[in-house]
Amino acid sequence: MRRLPGLPTFAVPLFAVALLAPATAHAAEDDLPVGDEAPRFVPTAVADGYYAYHDTAPTGPTGSATHMTTASRHNEFAVNLAAIGARLEHAKLTGAVVLHAGTSVDALHALAPGDREIWKHIQLANVGWKAGAFHFEAGVLPSLVGRESFVSTSNWNYTRAFIADATPYYVTGARATWRVSPTWSLGAAIFNGWDTHGDRNATKSGQLRVAWTPSEKLSIETSALVGQEQVPLAGRTTPLRFFDDLIVALQVHKRVHLALEAWAGTERNYRFEDPQKGDARSATMVRHPWFYGGALWGKWQFGDTVYLAARAEALSDRAGVMASNGARQSFVPGAVPTGEPFVGQQLAGGTLTFGWQPHKSFLARVEALHRISDHPFFSGSVTEYSESVAGSSATYVTQARRSSTTFVVSAAFSY
């Protein structure tokens, strides 16, 4: 699951590692006989490095910015994503194997259940078969939820929206896609859950997707996901999550592009407890909380090699289902309660990006990002950290803030 700050990782010089970004491969004509035709493997790679400065100066056990997987490290030169792999080109057979590493990978898998260190380095590992208008795939697959990709070179902005880092980039399972017509496609998938590799419980999650592309200038798609995404607890009903996502992309001019994403979801039978209120009977209960939000993007290609991109976003998550409690102080049993109650957030943000792309395989960007919350949410300086206090993990944050400003300089090579 895409969530919250990543684990500390090494910082290395820019471009020190070859990275892979998923690239579109043009398959052979679908109606060709397969026979003994040998598959062709197409290598892909991306090297994505950055320097980021966060005005909150996050320190402590993670040293990462709150709710960011891209450019999460503060005041460091670092590799955001390093990956390399290959894709399969064939009339019927499809597949991909991509390995990756970097600060974004650490952040993506920071809270994943049971992920061994080696598994987080598998970005894609799948095989598929085409049969007429149908395409069947299985393995580690792109989730096809949300507008922004885990590979930054595929996005207009360098950093990603709240909802992108809170929903899955990749899933492990099986998917079937039916191209109904040149403009319509339907898809269905079953997978372990919102975490890329592991599963929090014994049930599986499902997705239905509809996409309509009436022209090269307009595309509309929607995805609906359902599944249990919480760890089951004895004597309690495991919450069931429903999530729906709508994306509209429009080219209003040959140099001007717009995109809109809106989402809404609910966690049925969700148990929300405020640890500062004592036992479960006196804790706050939210049985069926809703979370919702949206984002708007704009891109102006004002030159052959340069562009400006902007993003505005908002997320309301009063029960903390998606955004959690951010950086606020956790309660230690037996201690005097300090800090604010464990509640959710209302978040908003704006991003402005200047991009320079003198070659199709090279992209450099300068970006400013500002986010606000109605509660102290963004990581500051941690003055004390304990792995376990009275049986509970405790992190004391003395400089948690209601706003955060980030400046990023990045450069990436893609092939």
| Domains present along the chain, CATH in parentheses | 40-414 (2.40.160.10)
Distance, in Å, from the CA atom of 189 to the CA atom of 207, rounded to the nearest integer, reads: 5
Question: Where does the pLDDT of residue 273 fall: very low under 50, low under 70, confident under 90, or very high at 90 and above?
Answer: low
Distance, in Å, from the CA atom of 189 to the CA atom of 184, rounded to the nearest integer, reads: 17
Distance, in Å, from the CA atom of 353 to the CA atom of 311, rounded to the nearest integer, reads: 9
Distance, in Å, from the CA atom of 313 to the CA atom of 67, rounded to the nearest integer, reads: 14
pLDDT given at position 108: 86
User: Residue 182 to residues 100, 216, 309: CA-CA distances in angstroms?
Assistant: 34, 12, 30
Position 393 pLDDT exceeds 90: no
Q: What are the tens digits of pLDDT across the range 325-362?
A: 554 444 444 444 444 444 567 899 999 999 999 999 99
Element (DSSP H or E) covering residue 257: strand 256-268
Position 27 pLDDT exceeds 70: no
For a pLDDT cut of 90, what percent of the chain falls above it?
51
319-348 burial by CB neighbour count: b if 16+ within 10 A, else e?
bbbbbbbbbbbbbbeeeeeebeebbbbbbb
Compute how many other C-beta atoms are within 10 angstroms of the C-beta atom of residue 133: 12
Q: Is 63 left (phi over 0), alpha (psi -120 to 50) or beta?
A: left
The mean pLDDT value of the chain amounts to: 80
What is the tally of helices (H) and strands (E) in the chain? 2, 18
Of the two residues 7 and 200, the one the predictor is more confident about is 200
Q: What would the mean pLDDT of 197-214 be, rounded to a whole number?
A: 89
Q: By three-state DSSP, how is residue 275 classified?
A: helix
Position 216 pLDDT exceeds 50: yes
The mean-pLDDT minimum among 124-133, 325-334, 397-406 falls in 325-334
Report the largest interatomic distance among the alpha carbons of the chain, rounded to a whole angstrom: 73
AA letter at 238 = T
And the tokens for 188? 């269905």
Give burial (CB, 10 Å; 0-12/13-18/19+) of 202: exposed
Q: By three-state DSSP, how is residue 314 classified?
A: strand
Q: By three-state DSSP, how is residue 153 classified?
A: helix
Q: At which residue do the structure tokens 């706050």 appear?
A: 284
Q: By three-state DSSP, how is residue 111 classified?
A: coil
Q: By three-state DSSP, how is residue 343 classified?
A: coil
Collect all residues with Cβ–Cβ distance below 8 Å to 274 and sequence separation of at least 6: 283, 284, 341, 342, 343
Q: What are the tens digits of pLDDT across the range 61-115?
A: 455 677 788 998 989 999 999 999 999 988 899 999 999 999 999 888 876 665 5
